[in-house]
Amino acid sequence: MGHFAPMKLNRLLVLLVWVLLGVPGLFLPFSAAAQSERIKDYNSNGWYMYFGDHKISEKWGAHTEIQLRRHNILKDPQQLLIRTGINYNLTANAMITLGYGFIETYPYGGFPAADIFPEQRIYQQLQLKGNLGRIGLTHRYRQEQRWVQAAGTDAYTYLNRSRYLLKAVLPLSGPTLDAKEFFLAAYDEIFVGFGENVQRNIFDQNRLYAALGYKLNDAGSVELGYLNQIVQKPSGVVFEHNHTLQVSLFYNLDFSRK
């Protein structure tokens, strides 16, 4: 059947993501308990992204990724993200990754940082794929170790963060997704911080996304979508509500073929 787990497990995982959608509501009263009011900061952003998982051998591969994130859709800089990693395929539907990311964040929004600041990041990831009827599912579990430089200083703060993403893809032309066909895509991803340096933002952020996609060929696809991102700032008082245009290119090369 090509599933990584029995159908019942897939259904339980789908239910789990809806439970996770309620997690921010559980954290918020605690994170802002000492505050008399909560401030909402609304922004319009644009994220322009490339992702690639390139097969080097039967088991090994490389991940490449670059994201140009802009504030006011395109006008002003928001973030530059460059991420790479080493992939290892446990099975046809299960892959682990060890990687590194560099992120540079610019002042933006109603409560901007004092200056541009960089972040160095190491991450470990497990990605599982399966199907629920016609719907293709991807479950991604990611653990991050982050070194974030305080804006305008040379001091770094070490932070831990866990992320879980569930993405669904629905073909629009038949039971399977083939080249030259359109599809719908949606995902939700929740971020939770932990460790002694986390302030009042145990709930770090949540991303809810929907898009129209087109499969270019066996190796590539593009997506045009909308992301609703809620970010709780370290103070626990300011919450960003970011309405974000996402333009994504996915292209996976196979260097193992002779």
Task: Spell out the domain ranges in the chain.
Answer: 7-251
Q: Secondary structure of the chain: what % helix, strand, coil (to 5)?
A: 10, 60, 30
% of the chain surpassing 70 pLDDT:
86
pLDDT at 35 over 50: no
Is residue 79 a contact partner of residue 66, using CB atoms and an 8 Å limit?
A: no
- Between 201 and 164, residue with greater pLDDT: 164
pLDDT at 244 over 70: yes
Element (H, E) at 100: strand 94-105
Tokens of 191: 């971020």
Q: Where are the alpha helices (DSSP H) in the chain?
A: 7-21, 23-31
Three-state DSSP class for residue 150:
coil
CATH 2.60.40 fits 7-251, yes or no: no
Count other C-beta atoms under 10 Å from residue 69's C-beta. 22
User: What single-letter amino acid sits at 47?
Assistant: W
Best CA proximity match to 45, nearest among 188, 231, 220, 194: 231
Burial state string for 190-223 with b = 16 or more CB within 10 A and e = fewer than 16: bbbbeeeebebbbbbbbbebebebebeeeeebeb
23-41 average pLDDT score: 56
Give CA torsion, residues 144, 145, 151, 155, to 10 deg.
180
Q: How many CA atoms does the CB half-sphere of 194 hold within 13 Å?
A: 7
Q: What is the pLDDT of residues 117-152, one digit of tens each?
A: 999 999 999 999 999 999 999 999 999 999 999 887
Element (H, E) at 50: strand 39-55
Range with the poorest average pLDDT among 10-24, 56-70, 110-124: 10-24
Region of residue 16 (phi > 0: left; psi between -120 and 50: alpha; otherwise: beta): alpha
Q: What is the pLDDT of residues 174-230, one digit of tens each?
A: 899 999 999 999 999 999 999 998 888 899 999 999 999 999 999 999 999 999 999
- Between 258 and 156, residue with greater pLDDT: 156
